[in-house]
């Protein structure tokens, strides 16, 4: 799924300021899949994830007058989702879902071991890449995924993750290095065959 | 957004661009490969349900806009839900009562429209008199009121409405001059007829009644672009130049394949529906070219309005989408107002739906090679709970 341009998001911000429901529905249409994917990394219960995400959209509509079209609406939305998800996890700590267990649960969600048979080169490499990304340290992975999968700028990621843009850059540089090393190792291994 | 703070790259792409050549190549490979690793996440089914929930919640919060049940019913965008609830509402209060009560939004739009009617070429219509209730125009209140604001404000800023009229004439003249300079071939299927044409690249096009296909000069040599207003079935000759079908709001891009494009003007929001029978095509909104949908044979896709992504239409069957080619008529959850327009084009008759709320009801049915409109119109009347009459050469459902 492609991501909408900065111009589109600032257009939507302006339309939201004017309580334009049509624009809001477009925004929903364009952001839902990405935010759904994003929240699923925090809340694994699909029903709960859905409820939290719904609340975020309603909240966004409630604050529509205060959205600044000059600031990234995209970053704002991801930040809202992230905060709501973390709040949800905090509030449901009793039910064995806690911030500490995020990484644990994530390991359970890792892609299953790759079956070498009847898979073409590209699919195989793709699956390896998926695995390598999931093995990155938590913050690095998050910054890298926001950049790669959601097309965010460093500044936007910094806003969402509550970091300095320089730290975001560092996370991404380190992540790229790690991934390159793994790719190089993978290539030299397969080249022998 | 600040571009570079302390020489910091704006995003990862800029980070890559700033690398020395040999490095950049290796890292770009990683970056591109990583894009493929984006996990697929299936939200089909979940998304519409979720949107309905969000919409209902924001609408109940904006309850000041919903002044009564009619305006609430009118605000429901899901047509099936709207139909079901409206039916309950109508039965509860007797149908007569609600059909005379025009929703407040429509009334507001009416009054604006009456004020600007001298600069609008479309005839104004009155909602209260049954004779003049031409719901064919089917304006989407929000969309049109935007246009109104623009027109009204430009009239105000020039201070004189004649300046505006003069400007419109100048534009008209310019368009006309442009047209005679760069002449294009326009194929038209008259009302009541289906026409087949062969283009210079040997592509064949079957045009449904009342459709217009415009082919710019240089077709087959420099480009393969056509413009469609209406509905047509294309059997595109394979070639190196992409074949592009442009409609009011969407583009269908192909290399060589067979497909149907439906995009009738004058039905409110521009809508383009593509049904693919063979090969593959890409469909996208003409205002949002980055969101393309690659279609597979048997699939139907729709672009509704501008600035939107194409959506898969699951409910429609491909044989229904192509029914017109064999002179059949298929309605599948088609709004009554659209069904009436279809009959008008097919049989070259006038059909008026003089009941605003019934016009939005949906109908489903299939007619094998019908030779007159009467039977179909009678069915439509009985489904919608209306009476069919024929006076002054015109069918009226009311």
Output the average pLDDT for chain B.
72
User: Looking at residue B160, what is its pLDDT?
Assistant: 56
- Of B281, B231, B239, give the one whose Cα is nearest residue B260: B231
CA distance A139 to A157: 11
Q: Which of A5-9, A64-68, B119-123 is predicted with the least confidence, judged by mean pLDDT?
A: B119-123
Q: Where in chain B is the domain with CATH 3.55.50.30?
A: 327-398
Q: Which residues pair with B215 in a beta bridge?
A: B185, B226
Taking alpha carbons only, the member of B361, B360, B335, B356 closest to residue B103 is B356
Q: How many angstroms separate the CA atoms of A172 and A152, rounded?
A: 12
Predicted pLDDT at B174: 56
| Helix (H) or strand (E) segment spanning residue B45 | none
pLDDT tops 70 at residue A191: no
The CATH number given to A1-109 is: 1.10.1740.10
ipTM topping 0.85: no
| DSSP line for B64-129 | TT--SHHHHHHH---HHHHHHHHHHHHHHH-HHHHHH---HHHHHHHHHHHHHTTT-SSPP--SSS
Measured in angstroms, the CA of B277 and the nearest CA of chain A are apart by 24
pLDDT in tens, A105-140: 444 444 444 444 455 677 788 888 888 998 888 888
Domain ranges of chain A: 1-109, 112-193
Contact B39 A6 (CB under 8 A): no
Summarised one tens digit per residue, pLDDT across range B322-332 is 889 888 898 88
User: Mind giving me the DSSP string for B305-363?
Assistant: SSS---EE-SSS-HHHHTGGGGT-EEEEEEEHHHHHHHHHHHHT-EEEE--HHHHT-EE
Q: Between A and B, how many residue pairs show a Cβ–Cβ distance under 8 A?
A: 120
Query: Cα(B180)–Cα(A42) distance, rounded to whole angstroms?
Result: 62
Q: Are B250 and B272 in contact (CB under 8 A)?
A: yes
Which residues, in sequence order, are bridge partners of residue A12? none
List residues of chain B with CB under 8 Å from any CB of chain A: 1-2, 5-6, 8-12, 15, 26-27, 29-31, 33-39, 41, 43, 46-47, 50-51, 53-55, 57-58, 61-62, 77, 142-143, 290-292, 307-309
- Vertex A187, ends A184 and A188: CA angle to 5°? 85
Short-list B308, B298, A39, CA closest to A47 = A39
* B29, B34, B58: residue with CB nearest A58: B58
Q: Whole-structure pTM over 0.95, yes or no?
A: no
Q: Which of B249, B5, B60 is nearest to A159 (CA)?
A: B5
The mean of the pLDDT values for chain A is 79
- Partners of A53 in the beta sheet? none
Distance from CA of B188 to the nearest CA of A (A): 34
d(CA A61, CA A63): 5
Residues B127/B102, Cβ–Cβ less than 8 Å: yes
Do residues B88 and B68 touch, judged by C-beta distance below 8 A? no
User: Of B398, B397, B351, nearest to B372 (Cα)?
Assistant: B351
What is d(CA A148, CA B37) in angstroms, rounded to the nearest whole number? 10
CATH topology of domain A112-193: Arc Repressor Mutant, subunit A (1.10.10)
pLDDT attached to residue B230: 92
Q: Which residue has the tokens 């699956």?
A: A127
Task: Judge: B11–A153 Cβ closer than 8 Å, yes or no.
Answer: yes
Angle CA B66–B69–B73, to nearest 5: 85
Report the range out of A149-153, B43-47, B241-245 with the highest average pLDDT.
B241-245
Percentages helix, strand, coil for chain A (3-state, rounded to 5) are 75, 0, 25
* Tens digit of each residue's pLDDT (9 = 90 or more) over B133-172: 333 233 333 223 333 333 333 444 444 556 666 666 666 5
Exposure letters B114-150 (e unless 16+ CB within 10 A, then b)? eeeeeeeeeeebebeeeeebbbbebbebeebbeebee
Angle at B185 between CA B181 and CA B190, to 5 degrees: 135
Does the distance separating the beta carbons of B31 and A154 come in below 8 Å? no
What backbone phi and psi angles, to 5 degrees, belong to A66?
A: -100, 5
Alpha helices, H only, B159-188:
161-181
* Model pLDDT for residues B186-226, shown as the tens digit of each residue: 898 888 888 899 998 888 999 999 999 999 888 888 889 99
d(CA A49, CA A34): 13
B327-398 topology per CATH: Phage tail protein beta-alpha-beta fold (3.55.50)
> Given CA atoms B217, B219, B225, B228 in this order, what sign does their dihedral have?
positive
By the 8 A CB rule, do B199 and B185 touch? Answer: no
What is the C-alpha separation between B40 and B22, in angstroms, rounded?
32
More confident residue, A11 or A113: A11
The shortest CB-CB distance from A154 to any of B8, B46, B51 is to B8
- Assess whether pLDDT exceeds 60 at residue B48: yes
CA atoms of B43 and B36, how far apart (whole Å): 19
Own/partner contacts of B129-133, CB < 8 Å, gap of 24 or more, are B130/B354, B130/B398, B131/B354, B133/B354, B133/B355, B133/B356
From-to residues of CATH 2.60.120.1440 in chain B: 184-324
Q: Which residue in A4, A22, A129 is closest to B33 by CB distance? A: A129
| Facing residue for A165 by CB, picked from B8, B34, B290 | B8
What residue of B is the nearest CA neighbor of A12?
B307
Question: Both tokens of residue A106?
Answer: 């994530």
Which segment, B55-64, B197-206, B256-265, B284-293, is predicted with the most confidence on average? B197-206
Query: Options 3.20.20.60, 3.40.50.2300, 3.10.580.10, 2.60.120.1440; which CATH number does B184-324 get?
Result: 2.60.120.1440
């Amino acid at each position: 799924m492609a991501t909408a341009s900065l111009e589109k998001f600032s257009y939507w911000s302006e339309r939201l300021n004017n309580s334009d429901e049509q624009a809001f529905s477009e925004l929903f249409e364009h952001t839902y899949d990405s935010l759904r994917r994003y929240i699923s990394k925090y809340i694994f219960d699909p029903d709960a994830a859905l409820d939290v995400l719904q609340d975020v959209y309603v909240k966004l509509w409630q604050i529509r007058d205060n959205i600044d079209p000059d600031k990234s609406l995209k970053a704002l939305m991801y930040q809202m989702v992230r905060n709501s998800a973390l709040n949800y996890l905090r509030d449901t700590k009793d039910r064995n879902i806690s911030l500490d267990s995020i990484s644990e649960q994530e390991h359970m969600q890792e892609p299953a071991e790759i079956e070498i048979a009847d898979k073409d080169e590209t699919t195989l490499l793709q699956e390896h890449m998926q695995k390598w990304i999931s093995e990155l340290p938590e913050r690095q992975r998050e910054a890298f995924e926001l950049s790669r999968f959601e097309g965010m700028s460093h500044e936007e990621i910094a806003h969402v993750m509550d970091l300095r843009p320089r730290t975001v850059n560092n996370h991404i540089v380190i992540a790229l290095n790690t991934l390159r090393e793994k790719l190089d190792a993978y290539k030299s291994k397969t080249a022998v065959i | 957004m600040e571009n570079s703070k302390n020489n910091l790259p704006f995003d990862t792409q800029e980070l890559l661009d700033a690398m020395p050549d040999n490095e950049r190549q290796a890292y770009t490979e990683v970056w591109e490969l990583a894009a493929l690793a984006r996990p697929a996440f299936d939200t089909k089914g979940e998304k519409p349900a979720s949107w309905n929930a969000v919409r209902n919640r924001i609408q109940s919060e904006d309850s000041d806009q919903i002044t009564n049940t009619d305006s609430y019913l009118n605000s429901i965008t899901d047509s099936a839900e709207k139909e079901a609830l409206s039916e309950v509402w109508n039965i509860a209060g007797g149908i007569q009562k609600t059909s005379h009560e025009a929703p407040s939004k429509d009334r507001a739009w009416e009054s604006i429209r009456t004020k600007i009617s001298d600069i609008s070429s479309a005839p104004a219509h009155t909602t209260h008199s049954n004779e003049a209730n031409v719901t064919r125009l089917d304006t989407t209140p929000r969309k049109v009121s935007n246009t109104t604001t623009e027109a009204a404000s430009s009239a105000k800023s020039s201070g004189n409405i004649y300046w505006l009229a003069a400007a419109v004439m100048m534009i008209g003249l310019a368009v006309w001059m442009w047209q005679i300079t760069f002449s294009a071939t326009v194929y038209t299927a008259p009302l009541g007829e289906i026409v087949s044409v062969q283009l210079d690249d040997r592509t064949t096009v079957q045009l449904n009644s009342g459709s217009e296909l415009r082919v710019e000069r240089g077709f087959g040599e420099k480009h393969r672009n056509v413009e469609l207003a209406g509905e047509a079935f294309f059997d595109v000759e394979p070639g190196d130049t992409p074949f592009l079908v442009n409609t009011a709001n969407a583009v269908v891009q192909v290399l060589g394949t067979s497909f149907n494009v439906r995009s009738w003007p004058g039905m409110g929001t521009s809508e383009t529906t593509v049904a693919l029978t063979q090969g593959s095509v890409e469909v996208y909104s003409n205002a949002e070219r980055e969101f393309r949908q690659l279609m597979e044979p048997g699939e139907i896709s729709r672009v509704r309005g501008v600035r939107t992504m194409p959506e898969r239409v699951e409910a429609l069957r491909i044989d229904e989408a192509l029914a017109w080619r064999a002179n059949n008529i298929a309605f599948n959850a088609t709004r009554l107002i659209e069904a009436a327009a279809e009959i008008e084009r097919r049989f070259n008759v006038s059909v008026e739906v003089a009941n605003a709320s019934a016009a939005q009801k949906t109908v489903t049915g299939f007619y094998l090679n019908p030779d007159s409109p009467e039977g179909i119109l009678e069915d439509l009347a009985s489904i919608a709970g209306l009476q069919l009459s024929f006076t002054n050469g015109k069918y009226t459902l009311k």
